Structure formats: C-alpha cells, structure tokens
Amino acid sequence: MSSAAEVRGPSKEADLKRAMQPLLKPKRRWQAADTVIAASATLIAIIAAVFVLLCIDGYNTRIDRAETRGQLAASTVAEGARWVISSALVVLDGMATFLEHDVANASARTLTQFESIVGAIPAQMELGIYDRSGNAIAGASSREVPASIAEEDYFAELARGASWSLGAQANSEGTGDPTFSVARRLATSDGTFTGAIIIAVDGSVLGRIAETLDLGPGSTVSIIRSDGWVIARRPPLPAPLDLSGTNAFKNLNAGEVGSYMSQTSPADGVSRIVSFRHVHDLGYVAVASIALDTVLADLWRGIWIVSLLLAPIAGALLIGSFMTARLLRRTESTSRSLAAALAHNQTLFQEIHHRVKNNLQSVTSLLQLQPIPAEVKTNMSQRIAAMSAVHEHIYRSGTFSTVYVRDYLRTLIENIRAGYDPKVTVVDQIEDVAVDKDAATPLGLIVNEVVSNSFKHAFADGRAGTVTVTLAAMDGGRAKLMIRDNGLGFDPSAPSKGIGRRLIRGFVAQLQGEAQTSADGTEFTLTFPLAKASA
C-alpha cells in the first residue's frame, strides 16, 4: 500500500479483500490453453480442406477421363453400327436387283438366295418382303419378321418415297429378342411404290462392339434414331423407347459429338457419363455411357482408406490438445491461486509489521504514563525505537538471513542526533558489511547506547563537537566498530548509575565480540564475528 488513499479505509479486512479482488476473480481472457485448442483445430481444418480439395480434383479428373473414354467408345459404336447398317443396305440392294424391283418375283428361292448372301455377315439378319399394303409375302420372308409392317413408321416413310429407312427397336416374332429393321423401297421404273424389303438385324450385334470396349459394370452402348427412338441398346431394353421430349434427347442434340452427365437415365434410372457421336448420313446417334459408380469406384475406395487413416490422427490430435489445454488451465489456475496467496501473505505481513510498530509505540506510551523520571522514559523510548529500526530495515530490504547494516545504522544514528543539540555533528565511516540477522539488533542497540551516551554526556556543557562512527570488515570474518567523540570524556572505571553499560556488556556477549573503552572514555571499540558462530 503506497498511496495515502489506500492507507485510510473502513476496515483492514475490507483493505485485504480489495487488494485480492483482481487475483481471485480474473476476467475470462485468452489463455495458452485456448491457443493450443485453436492451433490443433486450425491444423485439422487445414488437413480436412486439403483432403476435400484432393477429392474434388480426383473427382474432376475421373469425370474427364470417363468423358474421353466415352467419346472413344461412341466413335467405335458409330463406326460399328455404320458397318452393320451399310452391310444391310448392300444386301438389300442385292436382293432388290434379284427381285428385279418387283414383289411379285418373291419366292422361297428368294429366301435361299438371301441366306447365301448374309451367311458371311457376323450379325444375325432376317429377311422380310412386303407388298404395298405392308403384308409379308409368306414363303419369301423369314418366320422371325412381323406379318405386317403397315403401321410401322419406317414403312410409311418408304411409301412416301424414301429409298430406304431405319426402324426403331422391335421384338422378334419368334424369339422375342430385340431387333431393328433396315428397309428398302421397291418401285416400278416409273417410281410407283410396289412394296418393301426389310432386314431385321439382331440387336445383340451391339454386344459384340461393347465387349471390346470394356466400359465396366453399369455401362451402356446404344444407337438412337435421329427422331429419338432407340434403335438398339446393350444391355437390351425390354420394350421400345422414345427419347424425344426428354432431357437426354436435348443433350444428345447439343452438338455433333459431346459428353454430359446424366443424373437419371430415362431407360433405367442409373447415373452415367454419356458420350455421343452423330452419324447424319445414316440418321442415328451412337451413344456410349459409363456408370458414375464405375467411374468413381476407386475414388470412393481411396477416400474411405484415407479417412480411416486421417480420422484417428485427427481424433488423437484433438484429444491431445484438449488434454494439454486442461493441463495448462490447471497450471494457470494453480499459478493464480499461488499469486493470490502471495498477495494475501504480503498484505498480512504488512499488517503484522504495522501492528508490531504500533504496539511498540503503545509500550512507549505505557512507559510514559509510569511515574518514573523523564530521563528514564526518554532512554527507554530510544531503546524501543532502536529495536524497531532493525525490524523496519529487514522488512524494507526483503532479505531475512543477513542484514546489510550501513543504511540501518545511519538511520539509527540520524534518529539519535535529531533528539540532541544540533551543534554536535556525526561523521560516519560505515562499510556496508552484512551481519547475521540475529546480530543486527544487538549491534544497533550497542550503537544506540554508546552514541546516545556521547550526545548526552560528552557535550553536556553545550560545546560543539563531533561523534565519529566507524565500521569496517577485518580479516578472519570479523568486523570492527569504533565510536569516538571529542567531548568531555569520562572515567570508565567509575561506578555507573544507569543500565546503559550493563546492556552494552550483555549485547557484546550476545555478539560473541570483545569491547573496550579508552581510559579517557572518548573511544569505544568493538570487534565481533560477522557470521554466526556454530555453537
């Protein structure tokens, strides 16, 4: 407590409480523990962010790769389908020539001729010959072709004048397997429509192409007529499918070639990367699609494995940082309570010191109130003050085992001088020697007695003079105190009235020192050990 405002107060306890308030109830502030948690949380966030970025990059790479692969596959399907359809058209041309463009020439021989031509073609093909009404010419047509194609759009197209047309997926009359038809118009030389020849191609022909592509599970290849009807698909569709009006159809017509992500296939609902290539001269689009699950399978596996590795590391990091933080918090809390205890002790110590000094003043007052001579009262108050001086010095210096005596003795001598005639001066030549704490009080009391005596008696006639106090360390761990005055002097062998000389003898014995007074009584010498002798 250093300011006057703190000195006064309603009570000592209130002082204590006020002094300790900030130590006992600290505000919530950023602590080392918070830094540990924040650092590990940041580290985990960074690891997670890098992981997510790598996943996104891996995803994009796989999608790109699937699109490239799909493009290649779509081109292969486009060419494969071209060969199949072109072959069918060549065969149809041959058959038209064989029939001399007249349905009336169709017979069982026609079928035999057809089979001899298509035998070398690596696709199952069936022949159908139809009159102008769309009815099959029995005997000249294969059993697998439909009896009538009057309702088919490709027949209508031929009737309208197209030289050839392409049918959408249909199902074989005999086996029920999916087929598609390539049809050719028959007409007289003046262009009158007389009928049609069709070749029903087994849809599984796409399977052969798909096998070589090896696009993986869930993948498809298909050819789709320009108007949106599916011509053939691998794996096969259970029923004919028209894509016109769907998002898939819009995406397929976005360019000559391309790829897009299909969230839901119109055929089976599977998510796929779809690549396509248009073949305009033959009127179809070749499509290859790879299932998203297939594309991303290894990515998911990689993410799963890395997560299995990272999750325990992140968990350990978090647990570790929380444990460290808890330890730090506990340490900080301990430090705070120690600091509070220290502050409490300091306050108590000050309070005790204050109380000791006040009590000594009370003792002085008690003596003052006794009916004893004023001189005795004064001497007693001097001795009490001298005892208190070392107490105060130890308190202020903060060192408790040894006491550096120069400031202490100077204060003491100054206090003695203040009570006497200002004509007498004091010269001190005091070395700052360190004495044992138990020696400080007797040393001070000896100085008090001797110097007070000099002031009191040596200049009693009012003369001016000097008291010289010398303290110096000697060899052998001892010190020498010398107090000399240039006053009246006295006979040290004469009997003493007061207790002064008796006290001096007692204090000298306590110091384990040796003292002597010069014959004229003007010089007092004391030698004493600086360190406490081990008794």
Partner 1 sequence: MKILVVEDEPLIRIGLASLFEESGYSTLEASNADEAIRAIEHEPDVSVIVTDVDMPGSMDGVRLAHFVRDRWPPVKLIVISGKIGVSSTQLPPGARFFTKPCRDDVLLAAIRDLSAQGGPQ
Find the binder of partner 1 among 239, 308, 309, 369 (CB under 8 A): 369
Find the binder of partner 1 among 147, 156, 310, 384 (CB under 8 A): 384
Q: Cα Rg for the chain, rounded, in angstroms?
A: 60
Q: How far is the CB of 399 from partner 1 (least distance, A)?
A: 16
CB-wise, 384 or 530, nearer to partner 1?
A: 384
User: Helix (H, G, I), strand (E, B), or coil: what is residue 479?
Assistant: strand
Q: Tokens 């499918």, residue?
A: 241
Instruction: Give yes or no for residue 533 binding partner 1 (CB under 8 A).
Output: no
- Footprint on residues 338-367 left by partner 1 (CB under 8 A): 350, 353-358, 360-366
Instruction: Give yes or no for residue 220 binding partner 1 (CB under 8 A).
Output: no
Region of 245 (left: φ > 0; alpha: ψ -120 to 50; beta: rest) is: left
Instruction: Give yes or no for residue 2 binding partner 1 (CB under 8 A).
Output: yes
d(CA 343, CA 340): 5
Structure letter (DSSP) for residue 324: H
Task: Order the strands of the 257-262 sheet from edge to edge.
Answer: 230-234, 220-225, 284-291, 272-279, 257-262
Question: Could you tell me which stretch among 43-51, 64-72, 89-97, 376-384 binds partner 1 (CB under 8 A)?
Answer: 376-384
Q: How far is the CB of 333 from partner 1 (least distance, A)?
A: 30
CB-wise, 31 or 361, nearer to partner 1?
A: 361
Instruction: Give yes or no for residue 498 binding partner 1 (CB under 8 A).
Output: no
- Footprint on residues 291-310 left by partner 1 (CB under 8 A): none
CB-wise, 22 or 419, nearer to partner 1?
A: 419
Instruction: Give yes or no for residue 378 binding partner 1 (CB under 8 A).
Output: yes
Sequence-separated (6 or more) residues with CB below 8 Å from residue 424? 417, 455, 459, 464, 465, 466, 467
x-marked contacts with partner 1 along 237-266 as a string, rule CB under 8 A: ------------------------------
Question: Could you tell me which stretch among 118-126, 231-239, 300-308, 387-395 binds partner 1 (CB under 8 A)?
Answer: 387-395
Verify cis geometry, omega within 30 degrees of 0, for the bond prior to 235.
Answer: yes
User: Does an H or E element contain 208, and which?
Assistant: helix 205-213
Sequence-separated (6 or more) residues with CB below 8 Å from residue 24? 340
Task: Please check whether residue 397 is in contact with residue 434, taking contact to mean a CB–CB distance below 8 angstroms.
Answer: no
x-marked contacts with partner 1 along 11-50 as a string, rule CB under 8 A: ----------------------------------------
Task: Please check whether residue 444 is in contact with residue 403, taking contact to mean a CB–CB distance below 8 angstroms.
Answer: no
| Tokens (6 digits) for 302 | 């990689």
User: Helix (H, G, I), strand (E, B), or coil: what is residue 258?
Assistant: strand
Task: Please check whether residue 173 is in contact with residue 145, taking contact to mean a CB–CB distance below 8 angstroms.
Answer: yes
CB-wise, 110 or 454, nearer to partner 1?
A: 454
Instruction: Give yes or no for residue 399 binding partner 1 (CB under 8 A).
Output: no
Instruction: Give yes or no for residue 385 binding partner 1 (CB under 8 A).
Output: yes
Question: Could you tell me which stretch among 22-30, 228-236, 285-293, 410-418 binds partner 1 (CB under 8 A)?
Answer: 410-418
Please count the residues of this chain forming the interface with partner 1, following the rule CB under 8 A. Answer: 39
Sequence-separated (6 or more) residues with CB below 8 Å from residue 399? none
Q: How far is the CB of 481 from partner 1 (least distance, A)?
A: 21
d(CA 508, CA 496): 17
Q: How far is the CB of 337 from partner 1 (least distance, A)?
A: 25
Task: Please check whether residue 473 is in contact with residue 431, taking contact to mean a CB–CB distance below 8 angstroms.
Answer: yes
Instruction: Give yes or no for residue 503 binding partner 1 (CB under 8 A).
Output: no
Q: Which residues of the shown chain bind partner 1 in the complex (CB under 8 A)?
A: 1-4, 7-8, 10, 350, 353-358, 360-366, 368-369, 374, 377-378, 381-382, 384-385, 388, 392, 395-396, 415-416, 418-420
